Amino acid sequence: MRNKQTTPKQSQLNEINSIGENSIRYYRDILSFIEIEYNKAQEKTVEDFSTLVTIRLHLARLYSKLDSKEIKKKVNHLAISLKCYEETYISLKTSQFLNSSSTLYEQLKICEEMIHLLPTKISKVNRGEEV
């Protein structure tokens, strides 16, 4: 039996996007709160920094998964995702904790990979190719 990949119906796509957009709003709210607390903290910890990075990566992934029939909207979501990865990459590269955490190093590698791959995906979407 073959495993066929089907395109979701518009109503399913709308539902999935709605859930994704709600998740983005919640993650943004959580990120704002945690960033404020992190910046207030006298002593920064690798665990707190790692939490911030993980949330940023979740946001980047959520943006990249939002789908749309409109090319401009889809490209915009991918561009926001790319920006999230780039900002996280810079944050990781300049972090005092990078060398003390293998998890942070792996997250840096994920950022590097996505920064490399997303521009190609954006170009394909702009040309109307399936991705």
How many other CB atoms sit within 10 Å of the CB of residue 89? 19
By mean pLDDT, which of 10-14, 21-25, 53-57, 63-67 is the weakest? 10-14
pTM value? Answer: 0.90
Distance CA 117, CA 114 (A): 5
Q: What is the pLDDT of residues 18-62, one digit of tens each?
A: 999 999 999 999 999 999 999 999 999 999 999 999 999 999 999
Per-residue DSSP letter, 69: S
pLDDT band at 1 (very low <50, low <70, confident <90, very high): very low
Q: How far is CA 115 from the centre of its chain?
A: 11
